[in-house]
A and B are shown apart, each in its own frame.
Chain A
């Protein structure tokens, strides 16, 4: 056993990209210590091997390189970009971050002071704020309902020792998915994988990673509406959705067609009804969140505050009608044609192909799952798609989040038939 490795050579530019995904991610944060994975990952990037944070930054920048850490619900990913002539040096630094991070006391304390300010920035951004509230409220008992950033309360419970232990436990060779793309050949790639993993423990993948168990039955609680009250808004940022299926479920291809027809294109129903016919919003769309476990089916739009209530009502009516009747035959044909034709754009560059393959591996999907979806799409009938809609779309169990000014929008939103309305302050989460 060792890491899963994906290599996509391409000499188009003198650049090499690498993604090193560590399975786990924020969904594996202990309850009450939300934000621990993010904290550990960012701390690891702030000094490693013989270099403190300043020296590591300086060395990377001098090489024209970048080394960034991102935390998703399912993984922590160390992403690098290097000029190919400096690849060895950059890989050496990445290997230090993986195997020998300093986890300095000083940086630990600084990061704990910094993170609440990221919360401030989210509260200043209505769209990000709507997404944060929706993620929390959509299905609070779901691991994806826990914030990857943390809360002001959970951050107080993060200690340096827990971060170090998490890193040691999860950064083992068997738990990595390594992708390399760009100006690199197979032999060099093999040598680089060896360098990245040679100092890592050979232990088993950790058992703390959340397993999928019975999640699809959760979140059936009727409609609810959360009005996130923020002063001086001229619009409402709106999210509507519910817990749905896992990306990789046998109905994934059918739901991909349903998603495209409802809100994945400009020609889709939501865009046509909300933007084109009524001019209520700059845009409207929907998507099934792609993740390892069942995740949200989510509709989004942003309507002028004077039409926020009618816009939520219309969105729910459209969704209910769609769930009951599904897309028409023409809509299915059109969406299928779009999705099949669009695939070459998703795999046009070596970096795209590598990142898709890394994501599929983290999601524990068969090799080439996403790239082969067009084959599954081609076999579906309109009846298959409508049956999948009936199975997975649940308009009576939607959670609606609207970030707007309550004094102006509350009355109309309360009449949107979105369920009991709760008003919360924009800075309380």
Chain B
């Protein structure tokens, strides 16, 4: 059965570990790497479907599957999937983001075949009926309440994406708008499953203590009979260039102002992504970072500041999140951020400062490869979001070549007020206020409201 496989690529995935990508004739991808340091395996199935593949009015569909896929199949009664996994001592989970959905099994090495069998079963034989769908819909609405409605950070995040993007599907939340979650129709749910859950839209990533030939035999045995799907062409939506700063404000039951700023940034595979990642570290990625030192330590105007460059396939955001200190407000913090960014352009970082960010990136890189789950997640992300697991290593190498001039250039290019969206949550007054966001910007309508 191993004859049906084609070896497409191989690369190092950490010390003494080689990852190989194989392809089966039905299009199923497999990335495998043997790591025998513990008698366990990470078995992950990555699908090239995320919230970007949804349509307005049916948001949250990809994430709903993260729940439904643990339900009944033709061979497994309700709850049996989890019982079979947990009886081994293993764990299962799943994650959905804009570019992908993945299903994770952590299993004792001896139970690899069980994992392969379960994943193949739910890829092709999921039972989608009214009862279980309604039950999971209730669970997802509660998940949304916990993570968005009652969580100021979740609300900030959702509003940022909703206003930073006007055309691209990154504008809606992965969990979906509440009204959409409630309205997702069973025929559409079934159609989504038939469309995207297919071997030619998936990559299995398996890292751990197993024999590679045996793994391919198992996968051929359980997946070999699954026919590929006719995958729809995904339209390439280009977000129009942002030309004016956008600002959203709303009162929340919080102690001090919260500020989230998103600057338009390139996709993860763009050459400018690496220098922006260094900028992110220099601004707020470590205790000596410029904004952290200025806002938290010297001015004491913020209690925390964080920076993140989102690792999306298409252009996304470099985000700065700030919690204001008592007696300080978001507008004052924004002025300080602008001054620090100007300073980064006028006085580019020293070579030593850039080297510092590179050293921290090196530590982060190795930290992501410490265990088999982390290795599988890193390889799965790069393979699914960027099309090649070897980008993990390639982007890490790009980081080592960034110069101080690169840093100044990308700050000048990307971190400008006209390309940013600002979301501010402010403490409510004692009367309690309507929490409908107030929006300023270039002709933006408020994002779908908060479900109360």
Contact call B89/A339, Cβ cutoff below 8 A:
yes
| Inter-chain contacts of A277 with B (CB < 8 A) | 135
Q: With A15-B367, A276-B135 as known contacts, state yes or no: A345 contacts B106, CB within 8 Å.
A: yes
A363 at the interface (CB under 8 A from B): no
Interface code B341-382, partner A: CB below 8 Å = 1, 0 otherwise? Answer: 000000000001001101111110011011110000000000
Write out the residue numbers on chain A whose beta carbons fall within 8 Å of the beta carbon of B88.
337-338, 341
Contact B451 A341 (CB under 8 A): no
Q: Give A residues with C-beta under 8 Å from B.
A: 10-15, 53-54, 57-58, 60-66, 81-83, 110, 113-114, 116-118, 120-121, 123-127, 230-235, 265-267, 272, 275-282, 302-304, 334, 337-345, 347-349, 351, 427
Q: Which residues of A contact B106 (CB under 8 A)?
A: 345
Q: B38 in the interface, Cβ–Cβ < 8 Å?
A: yes
Segment at the A interface, from B47-55, B136-144, B226-234, B239-247: B136-144
Which residues of the other chain, A, contact B428 by a CB distance below 8 angstroms? 231-232
**In whole Å, how far is B400's beta carbon from the nearest beta carbon of chain A?**
12
Q: How far is the CA of A83 from the CA of B137 in the complex (A)?
A: 46
Cα-based distance from A265 to B84 in the complex (angstroms): 12
Q: State whether B370 touches A64 (Cβ < 8 A).
A: no
Q: A53-B297, A57-B287, A120-B256 are in contact. Are A13 and B366 (CB under 8 A)?
A: yes
Please give me the 3 A-B residue pairs with the lowest Cβ-Cβ distance, nearest first.
Answer: A341-B89, A279-B138, A64-B359
Is B39 part of the contact surface with A, judged by Cβ < 8 Å? yes
Task: Assess whether B444 is interfacial by the CB under 8 Å rule.
Answer: no
Contact partners of A114 in chain B: CB under 8 A:
300, 303
Bound CA span A185–B341, Å: 44
Contacting B108 at CB < 8 Å: which of A62, A116, A341, A427?
A341
Nearest residue (CB) in A for B136 is A279
Q: Contact check, B150 vs A234: say whether CB atoms are below 8 A apart.
A: yes
Chain B: CB-nearest residue to A305: B145
Q: Which one of A15, A235, A267 lies within 8 Å of B142 (CB-CB)?
A: A235
A221 to B340, CA, bound (A): 56
CB–CB A303/B142 < 8 A? yes
Q: Is the CB of B15 within 8 A of A11?
A: yes
Q: Which chain B residue has the least Cβ–Cβ distance from A427?
A: B255
- Contact check, B352 vs A10: say whether CB atoms are below 8 A apart: no
Instruction: Produce 1/0 per residue, B325-337, CB < 8 A to A.
Output: 1100000000000
B244-284 at interface with A (beta carbon < 8 Å) = 252-256, 258
Query: In the complex, what residue of chain A is closest to B369 when comparing beta carbons?
Result: A13
Contact assessment for B142 and A302 in the assembled complex, using a CB-CB cutoff below 8 Å: yes
Flag whether B83 is at the interface (Cβ < 8 A).
yes
User: Of all chain A residues, which has the CB nearest B368?
Assistant: A13
Shortest CB distance B92–A (Å): 8
Tell yes or no: B27 within 8 A of A by CB.
no
Which B residues lie within 8 Å of A303 (CB)? 142
The answer to whether B371 and A14 have CB atoms under 8 Å apart is no
Tell me if B369 and A54 are in contact (CB < 8 A).
no
Q: For B367, what are the chain A residues with a Cβ–Cβ distance below 8 Å? A: 13, 15, 81
Q: A233 CA to B148 CA in the complex, in Å?
A: 11
**How many B residues, CB 8 Å from partner?**
73
Contact with A along B372-395 (1 / 0, CB 8 A): 100000000000000000000000
Question: Would B79 and A272 count as touching, CB distance under 8 A?
Answer: yes
Contacts of B38 in A (CB 8 A): 344-345, 347-349
The chain A residue with its CB closest to the CB of B364 is: A64
For A303, give the chain B residue with the smallest CB separation: B142
Determine whether B82 belongs to the interface, using a CB cutoff of 8 Å to chain A: yes
Q: A83-B362, A114-B303 are in contact. Are A282 and B142 (CB under 8 A)?
A: yes
Q: Among A61, A230, A277, A281, which residue has the most Cβ atoms of chain B within 10 A? A: A61
Instruction: Please report B residues at the A interface, Cβ cutoff 8 Å.
Output: 14-16, 37-40, 70, 79, 82-83, 86-92, 106, 108, 134-139, 141-143, 145-146, 149-152, 252-256, 258, 286-289, 293, 297, 300, 303-304, 323, 325-326, 352, 355-356, 358-363, 366-367, 369-372, 428, 432, 435, 451-452
Contact of B89 among A121, A266, A342, A427 (CB under 8 A): A342
Is B89 touching A337 in the complex (CB atoms < 8 A)? yes
* Complex CA–CA separation, A25 to B124 (angstroms): 53
CB distance from B174 to the nearest CB of A (A): 15
Chain B contacts of A14 at CB under 8 A?
15, 366
- CA gap between A230 and B152 in the complex, in Å: 13
Judge whether B362 and A334 touch: CB under 8 Å: no
Asked whether A124 and B356 contact (CB < 8 A) given A60-B287, A339-B89, A349-B38, the answer is no
**Do A235 and B89 form a contact, CB below 8 Å, given A114-B303, A344-B39?**
no
Contact A117 B288 (CB under 8 A): no
Expressed in whole angstroms, the minimum distance between the Cβ of A170 and any Cβ of chain B is 24
Pair B40/A345 contact, Cβ less than 8 Å: yes
| Contact across chains for B146 and A282 when beta carbons are under 8 A apart | yes
* B287 and A232 form a contact (CB under 8 A): no
Q: In whole Å, how far is A188's beta carbon from the nearest beta carbon of chain B?
A: 18
Q: Is the CB of B146 within 8 A of A235?
A: yes
Complex Cα distance A334/B84, Å?
10
Determine whether the beta carbon of B359 is less than 8 Å from that of A63.
yes
Interface centre among A58, A62, A124, A349 (most CB of B within 10 A): A124
In the assembly, what is the distance between CA of A266 and CA of B86, in Å? 8
B145 lies within 8 A of A304 (CB) = yes
The answer to whether A234 and B40 touch across the interface, beta carbons within 8 angstroms, is no
**Cross-chain contact A62 with B355 (CB below 8 angstroms):** yes
Contact present for B89 and A13 (CB under 8 Å): no
Q: Please report the C-alpha to C-alpha distance between residue A270 and residue B426 in the assembled complex, in whole angstroms.
A: 37
Q: When chains A and B are docked, how far (Å) is the Cα of A300 from the Cα of B370?
A: 31
Which of B83, B86, B356 has the most CB atoms of chain A within a 10 A radius of its CB? B86
Instruction: Apart from A120-B256, A265-B82, A280-B138, list 13 A-B contacts with CB within 8 A.
Output: A12-B14, A53-B297, A61-B356, A83-B363, A234-B451, A267-B86, A282-B142, A339-B89, A341-B89, A342-B89, A344-B40, A345-B90, A348-B40
Whether B146 pairs with A279 at a CB distance below 8 angstroms is: no
- Name the residue of chain B whose CB is nearest to the CB of A114: B303
* Alpha-carbon distance between A427 and B253 when the two chains are bound, in angstroms: 11
CB contact under 8 A between A232 and B253, given known A58-B288, A62-B356: yes
Residue numbers in B under 8 Å from A64 (CB-CB): 356, 358-363
User: 18 A-B residue contacts at CB 8 Å?
Assistant: A13-B369, A83-B362, A83-B363, A110-B300, A114-B303, A121-B303, A231-B432, A232-B253, A234-B149, A235-B146, A235-B149, A279-B137, A282-B146, A334-B87, A341-B87, A341-B88, A344-B38, A351-B370
How far apart are A416's CB and chain B's nearest CB, in angstroms?
18
- Most chain B CB inside 10 Å of its own CB: which residue of A64, A114, A334, A340: A64
Q: How far is the CA of A110 from the CA of B428 in the complex (A)?
A: 27
B contact residues around A61 at 8 Å (CB): 286-289, 356, 359-360
Closest to A339 in B: B89
Which B residues are in CB contact (< 8 Å) with A339?
89
B292 to chain A, nearest CB (A): 9
Instruction: Say how far B352's CB is from chain A's closest CB, in angstroms.
Output: 7
B303 and A279 contacting across the interface, CB-CB below 8 Å: no
A375 to chain B, nearest CB (A): 15
User: Do residues B15 and A232 form an inter-chain contact, with CB atoms below 8 A?
Assistant: no
Asked if A15 and B89 sit within 8 Å, CB to CB, the answer is: no
The residues of B that contact A123 with a CB separation of less than 8 Å are 255
Asked if A54 and B326 sit within 8 Å, CB to CB, the answer is: no
Query: Given the complex, which residues of A lie within 8 Å of B83, measured CB to CB?
Result: 267, 334
Q: Which residue from chain A places its CB closest to the CB of B111 in the assembled complex?
A: A341
